Amino acid sequence: ERSLLGLRGLDAAEISAILDRAAYWDKQTEKASSVLASRFVSNMFFENSTRTRFSFEMAEKRLGAQVLNFTAAASSVEKGESIYDTVRTLESMGIDAGVIRLKPAGVLAQLSEKVSIPLINAGDGNNEHPTQALLDLYTMLKTFGDIKGLTVSIIGDIMHSRVARSNLWGLTTMGAKVQFCAPENMKAPELMDYAPYVSMEEALRADVVMMLRVQLERHASGMLSSAEEYRRQFGLTEERAAKLASHTVIMHPAPVNRNVEIDDAVVESAKSLIFPQMSNGVPIRMAVIERAIR
Ligand code: CP
| d(C-alpha 222, C-alpha 201), whole Å | 26
What pLDDT score was predicted for residue 221? 56
Mutating to test ligand 1, I would choose from 51, 103, 135 the residue with most ligand atoms within 8 A of its C-beta, which is 51
| Residue 195 is assigned to a ligand binding site | no
Per-residue H/E/C for 93-125 = HCCCEEEEEECCCCHHHHHHHHCCCCEEEEEEC
Q: Determine the distance separating the centroid of ligand 1 and the alpha carbon of 256, expressed in angstroms.
A: 10
3 state DSSP class of 180? strand
Q: Determine the distance separating the centroid of ligand 1 and the alpha carbon of 122, expressed in angstroms.
A: 9
What pLDDT score was predicted for residue 225? 64
Q: What number of other Cβ atoms are within 10 A of residue 203's Cβ?
A: 23
What is the full per-residue pLDDT of the chain (294 aa) written as tens digits? 699 999 999 999 999 999 999 999 999 999 999 999 999 999 999 999 999 999 999 999 999 999 999 988 888 888 888 999 999 999 999 999 999 999 999 899 999 999 999 999 999 999 999 999 999 999 999 999 999 999 999 999 999 999 999 999 999 999 999 999 999 999 999 999 999 999 999 999 999 999 999 976 666 555 556 889 999 999 999 999 999 999 999 999 999 999 999 999 999 999 999 999 999 999 999 999 999 998
Q: Whose CA is nearest to atom 4 of ligand 1?
A: 51
| Residue 252 is assigned to a ligand binding site | no
Ligand 1 site residues, Cβ closer than 6 angstroms: 49-53, 123, 132, 253-255
| Residue 215 is assigned to a ligand binding site | no
| d(C-alpha 231, C-alpha 39), whole Å | 46
Positive or negative: CA dihedral 259, 204, 124, 36? positive
Q: Whose CA is nearest to atom 5 of ligand 1?
A: 49
The complex's ipTM works out to: 0.98
| Residue 104 is assigned to a ligand binding site | no
For 33, residues 6+ apart whose C-beta sits below 8 A from its C-beta are 62, 63, 64
Strand stretches in 168-257, DSSP E: 177-181, 208-211, 249-251
Kindly list the structural domains of the chain, giving each domain's residue range(s) and its CATH number in brackets, ordered by start: 12-128+281-293 (3.40.50.1370), 130-277 (3.40.50.1370)
Which pTM does this prediction carry? 0.96
SS3 content of the chain, % helix, strand, coil (to 5): 45, 15, 40
Among candidates 81, 117, 56, which has minimal Cα distance to 283? 56
What pLDDT score was predicted for residue 224? 56
